[in-house]
Amino acid sequence: MNNPGPTLSDFGHDPLWITIIKAVAIFVFLMLGVLFGVWTERKLISRMQHRYGPNRAGKFGLLQSVADGLKMGLKEDIMPRTVDKVIYFLAPVIIAVPAFLAFSVVPFGPMVWMFGHRTPLQLTDLPVAVLLVLATASIGVYGIVLAGWGSRSPYAILGGLRSSAQVVSYEIAMGLSFVAVFLNAGTLSTSEIVAKQAGGGTWDIGGLHIPTPSWYVFSLIPSFLIYAVCMLGETNRVPFDLPEGEGELVGGFHTEYSSSLKFAMFMLAEYVNVFTVSAMAITLFFGGWRAPWPISLWDGANTGWWPMLWFFAKLVIAFGFFVWVRASLPRVRYDQLMAFGWKVLIPLNLVWILLAATFKALRLPETDRMGIMAFGAVVIIVAFVVWLRFDTVNQRRREARAAQVEEEFEQLREEPAAGGFPVPALDLPHYHGAVPAARVPTDAKEVTSGSN
């Protein structure tokens, strides 16, 4: 059963107390998600590295995140003397509040009955709901920049500046990855985008009726792959956690924040942002709260409160992707990060949007258009892989040539063989002490005698 779900006309009719219940439920869900997310990440990474991870506080270490939260909340807040106090206090709030606001437009399920009122499992929705998420993500970076600026520390300021440049480049690519979804769905409302993925058609190939997938991840695979990369850059996660590069910036933009409640707010905002971008990936590309196949064959899979379970399962898998990437990939250099965003993701996105808009303008049938777009997506991905392969080979050749030049330069600076004595011409006038005449070459004698 393909439940179309709520539309924009279904919002704005709830009593105030139901709206408050929804808002509190989302807040509690995110807070508990952060607690269990930290534990899950530490456990998964430790298992990947053949360690146990948290195993002391509570069963399986489940209370370790609670203990860490209480410690950071009760720890003494040390504030350096030279900080800008107003900005120093406001920065954690500016980065944390937009992270929670972005989740207000995420659909969790269809229309349900709640205390005698029929209401959608979503706090609110707007005709431009996806733009609201992008706007809140853009506001969050001000917290990072102001945290570095208000700390009056060179390392913190460099971390804040890195973050601003990174977010500008990767938010452009992220916004462009949404355009193909908007073209296919014809709306920017999150609930209606989920409704557009209710069911697909069929392809008639040689008399065979092949069902077409309804999720946009299949027909818009380039947009999803670009968005998956931008998720890591937008949330400052490995391998794109350059604002927190401890190798060169001590701790990044929060260097001057002690492990107190302010630091906990930065950590909280990072994990909530991870949940937000994961929820947007599920909403835009993976059918939202709709059940995957073969669960979708059950008539009641997309009705009632069951869709919340499918949404939660997808969210756990998306969070596991972040953990897997963190445990597998090293941090990239900053020039590689910026070059990949501006020279690869944005041009590739523009080409894909041009193709998607062309197919949309041809007014082809829905099934034919999806097939052609899927074929075009495969062509673009293959072209990108081939380009990446040749670019990697060329990079290795450039590195080999640079190593060869360096080796030749080192050979020129080596000492002569057969008992020769090197005499650097620039250092001779500053040499203090007698040089044995028997060990100095003839040309060096002339240089020293001429200088004297």
Mean pLDDT of 122-146: 90
Q: If pLDDT is split at 50, 70 and 90, which confidence band does 250 have?
A: low
Tell me if 254 sits within 8 A of 150, measured CB to CB: no
Can you give the residue ranges of every domain in the chain?
A: 82-402
Query: DSSP secondary-structure letter at 440?
Result: S
Pairwise pLDDT comparison (377 vs 149), residue with the higher score: 149
pLDDT, tens digit, 9 for 90 and up, residues 261-293: 888 888 899 899 999 999 999 999 999 999 988
Contacts of 5 (CB under 8 A, 6+ apart): 107, 110, 111, 120, 191, 194, 195, 198, 288, 289, 302
Residue 366 confidence (pLDDT): 60
pLDDT above 70 covers what percent of the chain?
A: 80
Residue 401 confidence (pLDDT): 82
> What is the dihedral sign for C-alpha 297, 298, 299, 305?
negative
Residue 213 confidence (pLDDT): 67
Tell me if 223 sits within 8 A of 352, measured CB to CB: yes
pLDDT, tens digit, 9 for 90 and up, residues 176-224: 999 999 998 989 999 999 998 886 655 555 555 555 568 899 888 889 9
Residue 247 confidence (pLDDT): 59
Q: What's the chain's average pLDDT?
A: 82
**Strands 117-120 vs 111-114: parallel, antiparallel or unpaired:** antiparallel
Tell me if 99 sits within 8 A of 276, measured CB to CB: yes
Residue 429 confidence (pLDDT): 47
12-21, 79-88, 165-174, 432-441, range with the lowest pLDDT: 432-441
Residue 179 confidence (pLDDT): 93
Q: Dmax of the chain from CA atoms?
A: 107
Residue 274 confidence (pLDDT): 94
pLDDT exceeds cutoff 60 at 449? no
pLDDT exceeds cutoff 50 at 433? no
Residue 395 confidence (pLDDT): 74
Pairwise pLDDT comparison (125 vs 332), residue with the higher score: 125
pTM of the model: 0.80
Query: How far is it, in rounded angstroms, from Cα 275 to Cα 381?
Result: 27
First to last CA, the chain: 100
Amino acid at 372: I
Amino acid at 317: I
Tell me if 150 sits within 8 A of 91, measured CB to CB: yes
Query: How far is it, in rounded angstroms, from Cα 116 to Cα 33?
Result: 28
Neighbours of 313 (CB within 10 A): 14
Query: How far is it, in rounded angstroms, from Cα 328 to Cα 112?
Result: 41
Tell me if 274 sits within 8 A of 37, measured CB to CB: yes
11-25, 231-245, 382-396, range with the lowest pLDDT: 382-396
Residue 436 confidence (pLDDT): 47
Residue 182 confidence (pLDDT): 93
DSSP per position, 53-99: -S-SSSGGGTTHHHHHHHHHHHS-----TTS-HHHHHHHHHHHHHHH
